[in-house]
Every structure is written in C-alpha cells, then in structure tokens.
Amino acid sequence: MTTRESGQVREAEPETAAAGPAKHIAQPGPTTLPGVLALQRTVGNRAVGRILARLRADWSTQANAQATAVATRTRLRTTLLPYMTSHSRKIVRNTAELFTGASPLLTMDAITKRSDSAAQVASPTAPAWVTPARHDAFFVGTTMNNVDFHQKAMIGTLSGTTMYVRGHDSSGELASLEDMANTVVHECSHYFVSQYGELPQTNVASSFHRYADEFRAYWVEGRYGDLPDAERVKKIREHLVGTAGDATSGYGPLHTAYFAAGPNPFKAQVDALTGPVGFNLTNSIRLHRLWQLFQNQAAGTATVDDLIFAIARLPAGERAEAGRSTLIKKLETAIGGLGARRVRAALTAPTSDEYVYKLNASGSVAVNRFLGAIIIGTADGIKTAYGNLSRQDRLAVTRNVAFMTFVEHHLLDTAMRAAVWAMTETWNAGQFDAMTAFTDALRRARDEASSGTLTATPDYVKTALAGLHDYSRWTFFSWSREGAMREYVDVLPPTVASDIRERLRD
C-alpha cells in the first residue's frame, strides 16, 4: 500500500488489508479473475474489496491487463465510492456525489497499461508526439480494444466527464483509498475550474492561472490540511515552485517562472496568493447545478424563479459561498433588473442555523409549498398554498421571525409583502385581497399627490381601510414601516400621510 506524504496519516480503509506478500491477479485460486467474480457473486463486494486490496496490478499479458482493469473498476465502484461517501471530510463526500445518483455529473472508470505498450509507443503509426522515453500506451474500460497515450507515471486522468483512475502506481503497487480519494477531489477541482473559466490561462503551464488552479486543487483536497493556513500556503507553494537551490524541484515550468531573474510579476502574484480562488471550492454538485441553471436562464431554458428555488434549496454554507462568488455576481448582474435583485436577495438570506432551522422546523411539505409560492410570487399561488396549510402549519409561520425574514428576501414587491402579513396574521386569505385593495388605493392617491390634486385622505382610501381587519392594519403599521408604508404613505402630503397613519393605528 502506498501512503500519503510524510507527516500525514492515512485513514483506515474499510477493507482490512492482510499482511503478507502481494499476489498477482492472474494467479490460480480465488485471486484469479473468474475466482474474484465468482466470489463477488457469492459473498458480495466487501469480500471482493478485501481480496483486491491484497493484489498487485499486472499487465504482462492481455488477459492479465484486462483482469487488472476489471479489478480496478470493481474497486473504484464498489470500494472507493462508498469509502468517499462515508468520509469524514465534507468535500470528499461532496465529490462522491458527483459520481453517484440517477444521472451523475461525472463517471469513473479504469485506465490500465496495455500489455503491448512498448510496441504501441514504438510503432511507426503512433502519433508524432508520443515518445518511448516518456509515454506508455493505456486502454480505458475493461477490454484492451482501445489505445491512449499518457506519461509513464500517470495514475489518473480526466477526459471530458470521465475520470480514469489507474488505481496503482507504475510498478503495480495498489494505491490506498485515501490517496485515490484525494486525487479524485483534486481532479474534480480542476474540472470545475475549467468549466467556470475563471482561470482562462491555466492551459499555459508557466502561467499564474495554472499556479492558482493547482494551488486551489491542493488546498481543497486536504493535503497539508492539518497545518495553519500560512504554513499550508507555504507548503503548497514549495510543492509547486520548488526551491531555489534545486532546479528539479516543483513543477518545471512553474519553478522556472518563479525563480526567473529580474523583475518578476509571476513571483509577486504567487507570493500574494494566500488561499484558494474561484467558485465551488467544495466540489458541490448543488453549486455546480446552480451555475448550470444560470447558463440555462441566460439561454432562455430556465427562469429566475428556477434560480431562486435552487438558491433556496442550497445548504446555508453553500448559499453563502454562492453569495460571495464573483462568478455568480457577474451572472446575476447579467440578468439585470428585478430578476437580479431577487437573485441577490435570495443569495443573501440569512444563513444562521436559527434562521434555516426555524423556517420550517417541522419539515412540513405544505409549508415548503407555501414558501415556494412566495418565491414565485403570484397572488393566487400564495393564497392557494396558504389555504392548504394545516392549523399547525399556520401556527408555525405566524409571527415566525425566520419566516418573516424569508418573505423579506423573496418578495421584493412591498405591497404583496404587506398582503402576506395581513393574511398570515389573520389566517384569512380574504385579508390578502383586502390589503391588496388598500395598497392599490394608496397607489392611486400617490398618483393624485404627484399631480398636486390631493388635499385630504380620499374616500376610496378610507373605504379600502375599512375592509382591513384590525390585525391587518397593525401589521401594515408595524411590519411594513420600511416597505409599503415608506413607498405608499410617507410620500403623500404630510397631512394626508399623518391621517392615514392614525387610521392604521386606530
């Protein structure tokens, strides 16, 4: 078993690796491919995982290479992914989610050295860039019917949306699950960087963007994660650019750029980087889907409502990350107008446990639907959803500070917000309409005031006021002070505004 770099402790694998000499996959007995597969049928994947953990990879013949590929694929899917799913670190669990579910974002498969690698790289019909000193020939999947060329020391590669993992080093020694999990986390970070385009020069090996891309990947995979941040930054920097006295240290192009003589803006940028940059630092499928939804909204295949729903469903921490992201800010700005304001308000809704938990503490489906209706923001939808709440649900939302905060962040129309307060305070959907009639009347009075013809509280305002329940009037006076009151009452001539305030308070 390989271990992680010195100073790091490898977490225990779920299967117990037996002590003793390594065995070849193609040996007779239960360690042959048919034996392993038969065992898998009879005793299940965990037992197979235990056996696979004791094996060495072997690609000396086509049959052995294919058996190794089958074993690798089995280990990836039946041992590595469950290991990642139950990992103690959130980012590893998040990364596992990218590969699981009904329609996973990414897939994982085996990549194995071909038994005829030497002939392939030395073939007259091998691509010109293939060089026998540096490359080996590999196949992906479990049948040696395809050829791909990679550097000899390759242990994994990402191609499109498929992550190919070798599962062992170039000597055949199996990689530990923790090592593989870290590698998968690391590569997924690169995948997201390439998707979001926040570091466009990362395809230049000596660029600062490449440095920042690698820095981020090492940071999120957890390497050096037990160190204080400053020390962690230093360790990652040293790993990437090496040291001045050793020309072979670090990543070659980064080392050369960092230690170049003379004025060196690259070095200045590297030294100034003290943390990971970019969106989705947690490899979250939810944040990625949110980003995809912004693309869809821009393309006209999703709505702002869809975005708000996705934001509302995010765990608080991820919503906070999205709220801070410059990438998301740009996408939000591109929407413009009320849509952009609604998205920003949803992103900046409180993230405290107090808010998140108390919003719908019982997990009521009907309350969730009511919250959804508030996000969509149509009067009929809100009234219908409220009408479907049980007595218990109505009690739960009435004067619930978390609920009121939710409404503040998702209903930007102050008149409709006032209507919701009236309805939830009186438990009467009719008061929603009554409050709407009242704000309509105030709007009409405001128009009159702007044309200079309003001298006293108009009768139509008094009539609308009469339709409000006492509790509705009080909610308007108390809870809409920064909203509808300011928008519709405070702008009226002082004597009229004062009269209306008195009538509301009465």
Partner 1 sequence: MPTILGKPQLVLRRRVWLHWAMDGGWTRRVVADGVVGVWLPPGETLEEIEGAAVWSPDDELGRFTVTAAEGIGDGDALLAAERRFAVVDVERDEHLERGGLQVRRLRYRSRRTTPRDVLDRGAAGREHAGGEDVVTLADFLLVRSGSRLVRTGYAVRADAPEDLRASLEQVYERVEIGDERR
Asked if residue 239 lies in contact with residue 250, where contact means CB atoms within 8 angstroms, the answer is: yes
User: Which residue lies nearer to partner 1 by CB, 173 or 470?
Assistant: 173
**Residue 365 DSSP SS3:** helix
Provide the minimum distance between the beta carbon of 253 and partner 1 in the complex, in angstroms, as a whole number: 9
Q: Which residues of 240-268 are buried (b: 16+ CB within 10 A; e: fewer)?
A: bbbeeeeeebbbeebbbbbbeeeeeebee
| Other C-beta atoms lying within 10 Å of the C-beta of residue 455 | 11
Provide the minimum distance between the beta carbon of 213 and partner 1 in the complex, in angstroms, as a whole number: 8
User: Which residue lies nearer to partner 1 by CB, 143 or 159?
Assistant: 159
User: Which residue lies nearer to partner 1 by CB, 28 or 124?
Assistant: 124
Provide the minimum distance between the beta carbon of 191 and partner 1 in the complex, in angstroms, as a whole number: 9
DSSP assignment string, 112-123: EE-TTHHHHHT-
User: Which residue lies nearer to partner 1 by CB, 4 or 369?
Assistant: 4
Residues that bind partner 1 (CB under 8 A): 5, 118-119, 121-129, 131-134, 148-151, 153-159, 169-170, 183, 186-187, 190, 194, 202-205, 210, 214, 217, 239, 249, 251
User: Which residue lies nearer to partner 1 by CB, 128 or 299?
Assistant: 128
User: Which residue lies nearer to partner 1 by CB, 214 or 318?
Assistant: 214
Asked if residue 484 lies in contact with residue 417, where contact means CB atoms within 8 angstroms, the answer is: yes
DSSP letter at 200?
G
Provide the minimum distance between the beta carbon of 483 and partner 1 in the complex, in angstroms, as a whole number: 51
Separation in Å, CA 433 to CA 420, 424, 479: 10, 12, 18
Provide the minimum distance between the beta carbon of 154 and partner 1 in the complex, in angstroms, as a whole number: 4
Separation in Å, CA 175 to CA 2, 72, 110, 183, 249: 5, 11, 13, 10, 23
User: Which residue lies nearer to partner 1 by CB, 236 or 385?
Assistant: 236
Candidates 88, 79, 33; CA nearest to 53 is: 79
| Sign, CA torsion 93/94/98/101 | positive
User: Which residue lies nearer to partner 1 by CB, 61 or 352?
Assistant: 61
Distance CA 58, CA 68 (A): 6
Tokens 């390759």 belong to which residue? 154
Separation in Å, CA 476 to CA 178, 189, 422, 488, 503: 58, 49, 8, 11, 11
Provide the minimum distance between the beta carbon of 61 and partner 1 in the complex, in angstroms, as a whole number: 17
- What are the φ/ψ torsions at residue 105 (nearest 5 degrees)? -70, -40
Q: What is the largest CA-CA distance in the chain?
A: 101
Provide the minimum distance between the beta carbon of 201 and partner 1 in the complex, in angstroms, as a whole number: 11
Provide the minimum distance between the beta carbon of 249 and partner 1 in the complex, in angstroms, as a whole number: 8
